[in-house]
Amino acid sequence: MGLVVDVQNVSWRRDQKLLLKHVNWQVEEGEHWAILGLNGSGKTTLLNMINGYMWPTEGHVSVFGDRFGTIDLRELRKSIGWVSSSLQERLYMSDKTQQIVLSGKFATIGLYENPTEADMEQALSLMKQLRVDHLVDRQYQTCSQGEKQKLLIARALMASPRLLILDEPCNGLDVFSREQLLSSIHDLLNEKDAPNLIYVTHHIEEITPDFTKTLLIREGEVYQSGLTRDVLTSGALTDFFRSPVEVEWRYDRAWLKVNSSSSL
C-alpha cells in the first residue's frame, strides 16, 4: 500500500520557539488515524503542514506520494477535506443547508456558481448519508452544533477527497449529539471508496474502533504512535498527561478516569 501522508523529521519554528520538533509520521492507504493531544500540543500546526498552509522549518512533507515543493498545493488541497471550527465561523449563517454542502464542490465560502442537477443529487445524497437530509431548505444558523458538523462533513465530501481531516468535530456537543456524530462517521467509513480519515481530539472516548491507529502528540513532539490498543493504556497515558489516569476499555473504546486528587 502507498503512503497517504509522509512526515519526515519535520520541525516548525516561530519567534525562536519550536512548535513542532522532529516529527516523523506515516499514514498508509486504508488507515484511519486518531491524533490525541491537549490544547497547544501542536495538533493543528501539524494539520496545517499536511494541508500545505505552513512550511516546515526543517524536514519534508509528502501527501499521496507528492513531496511538497514539487507540486501545486492548490491542486493537492482539492483531494483533502478539512473540517474545523475555524471554517464554521467563516460560513454565511443565512445560507440554506444544501447551499453550504454544495459550496464544497467549488471550495468557496458561499455558493457563487450554478450547481448542476448531478451536483444537487450528490449533495442531497451526502446529507441523507449523514442523516441531515431533513434539514434541506433550513438556514444554517438554525441548525444545532451537531447538525452543523455533519453538514460540514458533507460539504467536505462534495469534492470526493482522498483524505478527510476532522479537527475536534465533537467540540461543544453534548454526549448524545457526540455519539450521533460518531455513529455517522462510522457509517461513512464503511461506505465504498471511503476516504482515509484523520480524527483530531483531546478526548480518548471519541476514538472509536474505526481508528485502529493513534498518534500521541505533546508539546510539538510525537510521544507515541501505533495500534490504538497499544497506545491507549493506563501507563502510557499517565506518562503522556503527566498525571495519574486509568484507562478502561468498554465496547472496544477506551474511557479515561482521572485521579480525583490530580489535575490535568
Q: Give the residue-averaged pLDDT of 14-29.
A: 90
pLDDT digits (tens, 9 = 90+) for 189-207: 988 888 999 999 989 999 9
Q: Does residue 68 contact residue 55 with C-beta atoms inside 8 Å?
A: yes
Asked, for residue 254, whether it belongs to a domain, the answer is no
Computed over every residue of the chain, the mean pLDDT equals 87
- Number of CB atoms found within 10 A of residue 193's CB: 6
156: in domain? yes
Answer with the residue of higher pLDDT: 117 or 27: 27
Q: What is the DSSP string of 164-199?
A: EEEESTTTT--HHHHHHHHHHHHHHHTSTTPPEEEE
Q: For the whole model, what pTM was predicted?
A: 0.88
Q: What is the CATH number of the domain that holds 67?
A: 3.40.50.300
State which residues form the domain around 77.
3-232
Let me know if residue 90 belongs to a domain. yes
CA–CA–CA angle 21, 83, 199 (5° rounding): 55
Rg (Cα) of the chain, in Å, rounded?
A: 19
pLDDT (mean) for 81-103? 79
| Structure-derived torsion over alpha carbons of residues 45, 50, 54, 56, reported in degrees to the nearest 10 | 90
Q: Number of folded domains in the chain? A: 1
Nearest-angstrom CA–CA distance, 103 and 109: 7
Is position 239 within any domain? no
Residue 26 has pLDDT above 80, yes or no: yes
Q: Is residue 115, in this structure, part of any structural domain at all?
A: yes
Q: How many helices (H) and strands (E) does the chain have?
A: 9, 12
Q: Could you tell me if residue 70 is inside a domain?
A: yes
* Burial of 154 per CB tally in 10 Å (0-12, 13-18, 19+): buried
How high is the pLDDT of residue 62? 92
Give just the sign of the alpha carbon dihedral 48, 95, 187, 78: negative
What is the strand order of the sheet 80-83 is part of?
A: 80-83, 163-167, 196-201, 32-36, 213-218, 221-227
Has residue 245 been placed in a domain?
A: no
Greater confidence (106 vs 11) lies with 11
For residue 87, pLDDT beyond 80: no
Q: Is residue 240 part of a domain?
A: no
pLDDT at 264: 43
Residue 5, pLDDT score:
94
- Which position has the higher pLDDT, 178 or 15? 178
Question: What size, in residues, is the chain?
Answer: 264
Q: 82, 156 in Cβ contact below 8 A?
A: yes
